[in-house]
Structure formats: C-alpha cells, structure tokens
Structure 1
C-alpha cells in the first residue's frame, strides 16, 4: 500500500481519549456526544491524510464525488463509536438499542464447545459485540489486539474492563506465537475475535476486488483457520445513528480447508468471499468504514498499483507459513 497505516498517529491521542472518557463517565452519554462536534472539526481541519482517505473511500462507496459534509459525517460516525466504547467496554448497555441478526447460527456454533474464530473488520464497532456477554455470559471471548499500535485504547481497556484486557491476545507478537495463542484459546472453547481487513506492513497479503478495485487483504487469518479446523463466523457491528446498532453474524465455514497444491487460489477464493460480504455491509452503512488511510494505493502519488490477473503473494511463502503453524499445532497436541 502507498501509505503505512501503522505510522499514522493514534486518533486524538491519550489526552483526548481520556478527556472524553471523563466527560462520558461523569456527565453521561448525552453531554459527551455534544463534544463530538469539535472533535470532528479538529480531524477535518488538522488531519489531512485521514480527510483525503475518507473522501476517496466515500467517493467509491457512494458512487459520487464526496463533499466536505460527507467527510465530516464520516469522521463524526467514527468519533461516536469511540465514545460508545467507554460504555460498552464498561458493561453499561442501558440506553443502547442493538438489533442482532444471525444469533441462532452463532449459538449453534458455540454450543459445540469446540471454539471458533470471529472475523471482524474496521467497519463499524467491534466493541458492540460485548452485548453477547449480556445475552450469554457463559461465552468466553478473547480478542486479538495490537497493544503497541493502540496504547491509549489499550490503557482505556485496562481501566474500564481489566477482565477483558487480561484475555487480550497481543497481535504484536510473531506469527507463530499468535497462532499458538489462538489455538490454545479455541481448545478451551473460546470465541477468538480478530480484525481481518487490514494487512500489516510486510505481512503476506493477496489482492481481492473491493468496491471496484483490487485491495490487499491479509492471508494469515485464513491459514490459521485452515490449520486449526475450527468454525469461522463473520461479524459486523454497524452503527446506525444515535443509540442504535445492528450486530450481524454470518456463518462463513464450519471448517476451512486449503489444499496445498492450490494454496494461493484457495486462499484468494476465501478472501474474495469475505471481501464481497464486507463490501455488502459497507454499502449498507457507508459511513462506518474506519480505515482512514489509502486502502487501495494511489497510482497518482507514485505508489505501485495492484494489477489484475494472477494473485500476488507478498513477503513470505505461504507453504512455509502453513507448515510452521501445522508443526507447532502438532507439538502442542503431543506425539
């Protein structure tokens, strides 16, 4: 990609995040929401790269030239979901109207007590899935999170819900360590939630069609799912407006298989299926897209465009990666 999203400063910084936390906790959600307008104005005026990325995305998803008002609405939606984290992570669900679809299918998967992978994205709010803990407190949910890239959010999570924070699987580890931690969690019957729409710099990725152009998606989640042979469920926590959310679960596969002989084609097929569902929900709730960087790559700025044709594998060989996971899984299981 033309821009390294990991190099962008964390939105708002520690001071802004803790300020809004204090206002939300002591003044309530209604008062805190009034502060979203100056926050939106700040990002609109000061954060040029994010503003341009928003306009590019909105132009694609809306099918028309996105104006400044649309960009402002996009940023305001993002700020609203950040504010709601304070309440959702703290278990304060009163006042939220969350419509859930696909819950029976998710219950069916988890009731097998074999563990599962919950694939989410930077579309909407991942934290709204905490309502599951209210509906089914017997579920154990583990979240994969890059602690180093989100220090303010990590500290906020530690303060609001130490139990969730203690169960976080650090995505900043090396690949095999992450895979082993995920396997251990699923062996314990946990639902492991991770975001699979953003490729880390240098991470293996394949290009899939998304909103009319090819974009890179990470391959590691699909290789891990193939190695662990656990069900995969897609999740989209879409912010609608005010206090309303739509939490959608979709069963993706009971067990993913990636043949070694057609590895790239099989993984690409899985990623394309996922990208198609991501596009469906992005078009349904266009202002919920929170990847504020050049997701596709910009040829005009001198970056290398993603070309159509055979899938391109980046950084490492998938066979080696999958073999490493399989070896570690075998060691974990014993002789």
Structure 2
C-alpha cells in the first residue's frame, strides 16, 4: 500500500488546533463551528494535494468530475468531526444525537466474555464509539492508534482525557508488542477497535476491487483475527451533519478461521468482503471519507502469494504465530 499518507505534513499546526480547542471548550460548540469555514477555505487554497485527492475520490463516488463546492463540503465535514473529537473525548457525548444500529449482536458477543474485534476505517468518526462506552461502562474499549502520526492532534486530544489516552494501544510499536497487547485486552473481555483501511509502513497489502479499481488494503489485521479466534464486527461512525451521528455495527465473523493451505484465498475473500462493505457505507456518506491521499496509488505491485508470508511476520516467534500455524 502507498505510504503517502505517512509523508503528508499535518495541517494547521499546534497553534491553530489549540485555538479551536480553547474556543470550543470556553465558548461552546456553536461558536467553534463558525471557525470551520475559514479552516475549509485555508485547505482549499493552500493544500493543493488534499484538494486534488478529494476531487479524485469524489469523482469516483459520483461517476463524474466533482465540483469545487463538493470538495469544500468534503473538507468541512472532516473539520467538523475533528472539532467534535474535543467533546467526544471529554465525555461530553450527551450533546450529540447518536443513532445506533446492530447493538444486540455486539452485546451478545460481549456477554459471552470473549472480547470483540471492532474493525473500522477512516470513514467518519471513530471517536463516536465513546458513546458506546457510556452505555456499557463495565466494558472497556481499547483503541489501536498510531501515536506518532498526527502528533499535534494526538497531544491536544490526549490532554483532554488522560484516562482515555492511557487505554490506547500504540500501533506504531513493534508487531509482537501490538499483537500481545490486543490479545491481553480481549482476554479481559474488552472491545478492541482497529482502523483496517491503512497499513503500517512496510506492511503487506492486498489489492481488491474498490470503487471500480484495485486498491491496497492491509493483510495483517485479518491474519491477527485468524490467530485470536474472537468475533469480528465492523464499526462505522458516520457524521450526518449538525449534531447527528449514525453508529453502525455489522457482524462480520464469529471467528476468522484460515487453514494454512487455504490462507491466501481466505484472506483475499475477507478483504474483498470488507472492501465491499466499506464502499457501501462510503456511498451512503461520501463526504465522510477522510483518507486525504491517493488511496489507489501503489508503490509496487504485490501478488497475494507475495503479501501473505510478509504479513505472517507480524508476530514472529510468539505464541500467536504458533497458533496461526496450527
């Protein structure tokens, strides 16, 4: 997968983000939302790469060239969800109208005590999961995030809620450490949420159809799921405008099983299914797509057979790796 998203510099800087945070906390969400319009204008005028990639993505969705107004709406939607993180991470969730779908299945898995893998994406807001934490305070949510990327945003948001920050599993750590941390959380019956539409730098990927063209998706999350043998559910926190979010949970697997001789085809089938559901929800909420880079760009072509052995090295020498080979 292209690592272009890793090389993009952060927009706005610490001062601008601190300003939004302080205005949002002191003056309220409504005055802070007024700032989103100049922020949108800044990105339209100064961030040509993101503007071009937004237009390219929206053109794929709409089947025609996207307009500048549609690009502006795309950027504004992203800025709105960034602002809302301040309130969601501050546990100020009651100000939002969050409509949930698929909770009975999720609750059934949690009540079984096995833990659940929640596979999400950079579509919409993953922070809206905090609403679920309020509904089930006895069930911890552990989120796997790369602390190093987007450091300015990470530092400001962690300052809002140190308790939430302490539960984050750092995706930038070495593979075995990440895998063991996830395994430990699941053993305690936690929900572990991962964003599975981007790979870590150097991670193996597999190209599957997505909006009419091959796009690379990471392989490692699916191999990890096959080792852990816990239920996998898809999670989408879609921003619908104003203060409304749709929090959608979809059952995906009762437990991924990938026998060694069928692993290539099994992973390909899983990623194809996931990409199809991601495309479905992206079409229903097109301005929620927050991958502001060329998602379809490939650094190098890799076959399924090339990708899988590399991804299998994610947990070398550990009990997890031995479980995958059984």
Does the alignment pair 1:103 with 2:103?
Answer: yes
When residues 311 and 94 of structure 1 are mapped into structure 2, their CA distance, relative to the original with a 3 A threshold, is same
Does 1:317 pair with 2:288?
no
Which segment is superposed worse, 91-100 or 310-319?
A: 310-319
Residue 199 of structure 1 aligns to a residue whose secondary structure is coil
Conserved 8 A contact 1:109-1:116 = yes
Indicate the residue corresponding to 1:210 in structure 2: 210
8 Å contact 2:120–2:193 — kept in the other structure? yes
Contact 2:203 2:311 in 1 (8 A): no
TM (norm. structure 2) is 0.94
Distance 1:203 1:319, change over 3 A: closer
Consecutive unaligned residues in structure 1, runs of 5 or more: 331-335
What is the DSSP-based 3-state SS (H/G/I as helix, E as strand, rest coil) of the residue aligned with 1:317?
A: helix
Does the C-alpha gap of structure 1 residues 45 and 249 become closer, same or farther in structure 2, counting only changes over 3 Å? same
The Cα shift of 1:42 comes to 0.5
Q: 1:52-91 alignment to 2 at 5 Å? A: 52-91=52-91
Q: CA RMSD in A?
A: 1.9
Within-5 A mapping of 1:102-141: 102-141=102-141
Cα distance in structure 2, aligned partners of 1:16 and 1:135: 33
Deviations 1:33-58 (A, max 9, x none): 00000000011111111111101100
Return closer, same or farther for 1:327/1:73 CA change in 2, 3 Å cut-off: closer
Aligned to 1:333: none
* 1:249-290 deviations in Å (ceiling 9; x for gaps): 011111101111121211111011100000000000000000
CA contact (8 A) 1:141 1:192 kept: yes
SS at match of 1:287: helix
Number of matched residues?
323
CA 1:36/1:108 → structure 2, altered by over 3 Å: closer, same or farther? same
Give, in whole Å, the separation in 1 of the partners of 2:2 and 2:270.
Answer: 25
Q: CA deviation at 1:327?
A: 4.8
Contact 1:158–1:165 (8 Å) recurs in 2: yes
Kept in 2, the 8 Å contact 1:205–1:218? The answer is yes
Note if contact 2:123-2:290 (Cα within 8 Å) is conserved in structure 1: yes
The TM-score, its normalising length taken from structure 1, stands at 0.92
Structure 2 gaps, min length 5: none
Residue number in structure 1 paired with 2:262: 262
Q: 1:233 aligns to what?
A: 233
Change (3 A) 1:147 1:2: closer
Instruction: Report 1:246-257 matches (<5 A).
Output: 246-257=246-257
Shift of 1:94: 2.7
- Which residue in 2 is equivalent to 1:148? 148
* Counterparts of 1:329 and 1:12, CA distance in 2: 45
Q: Quick check: 129-138 or 67-76, which moved more?
A: 129-138
Deviation at 1:319, TM superposition (A): 4.6
CA contact (8 A) 2:146 2:171 kept: yes
Does the 8 Å CA contact 1:202/1:315 hold for their aligned counterparts?
no
Which residue of structure 1 lines up, in the alignment, with residue 185 of structure 2? 185
Q: Which residue of 2 aligns with 1:29?
A: 29
In 1, distance between residues paired with 2:47 and 2:147? 23
Structure 1, 117-126 or 201-210: larger mean CA deviation:
201-210
1:66 positional shift: 0.3
Q: CA deviation at 1:325?
A: 4.9
CA contact (8 A) 1:204 1:218 kept: yes
Displacement of 1:316 after TM fit? 5.0
Shift of 1:178: 0.7
| 1:111 CA displacement | 1.1
1:150, distance to aligned residue in structure 2 (A): 2.2
Q: Kindly tell me: are residues 80 and 97 of structure 1, through their superposed partners in 2, closer, same or farther at Cα, counting changes over 3 Å?
A: same
Distance 1:3 1:150, change over 3 A: closer
Q: Matches of 1:2 and 1:190 in 2, distance apart?
A: 31
| Cα separation, partners in 2 of 1:122 and 1:167, compared to 1, 3 Å | same
1:157 aligns with 2:157: yes
